[in-house]
Homo-oligomer: A and B are copies of this chain.
Amino acid sequence: MKNIFIASTSTVHGKGYLEYALPALKEFFKGVTEVLFVPYARPGGISHEVYTNKASEAFAQIGIKIVGIHNVENPKEAVGKAAGIFIGGGNTFLLVTQLYRNNLIDVVKDVVSKGTPYLGTSAGSVVTGVSMQNTNDMPIIYPPSFATFGLLSFNVNAHYLDPDPSSKHMGETRATRINEFHFVESIPVLGLREGSWLLVQNERITLKGGLSARLFLQGKPAEEFPNETDFSFL
């Protein structure tokens, strides 16, 4: 029994923090009055406190109280007792390093596998996969491992971006990067566009948000799958 909300981004262009997702999150967290927030990824380097306040303001709109994990005495115990968990975006390398330092990898995986509702946005979504190897982030810190929660049997590429045919920049496109990954690893990779999310309920993994997603399998051409696809075949 799993209840996981895996969002490509926290924010879509022109809207406030989490705004586009609030109606769906209200439904997702039905009956939950307090959510444990993990601000470790620190987007733009902001402090844990500032980041937690930002999450609090958004969740207040759907009547949910946010508790920052940096403010609890025993983070591991807090995860064990949480009625809901939200891991926010930012830098995936920093997030994963902090999750390992605080011994939270196993406990989060355990409680979420048993049904604690989990929301991830961006980096917080990447860590639901087998590994963080398809993050777009800069390796600003060296984590003890790239292995993540493995709540999915595939990896997530958040903020998935189609190549810009007019670009004169010679850096690799997102698709090229994911294809390079498949020369060394066989884990499937799902490119989730901004505004999309996966809703995991028990064994069903449904694409939501109205957009298609791009699936990369080793040795095969990438393929588009429409909104409402069930990715549990992966």
Contacts and interface: CB of A to CB of B under 8 A. Distances in A.
B178 A138 contact: yes
Given A145-B142, A182-B45, A137 B169 contact: no
A132 interface: yes
Interface residues of A, number: 44
Nearest to A46: B183
B183 A45 contact: yes
Interface in A170-205: 170-172, 176-185, 194
A234 interface: no
B9 A185 contact: no
A134 interface: yes
A91 interface: yes
Interface of A: 9, 11-14, 42-45, 90-91, 93-94, 132-142, 145-146, 159, 161, 168-172, 176-185, 194
Given A94-B184, A140-B183, A141-B184, 14 more contacts: A9-B170, A11-B170, A12-B170, A14-B168, A44-B172, A45-B182, A45-B183, A91-B177, A134-B138, A136-B171, A140-B177, A140-B184, A159-B171, A169-B194
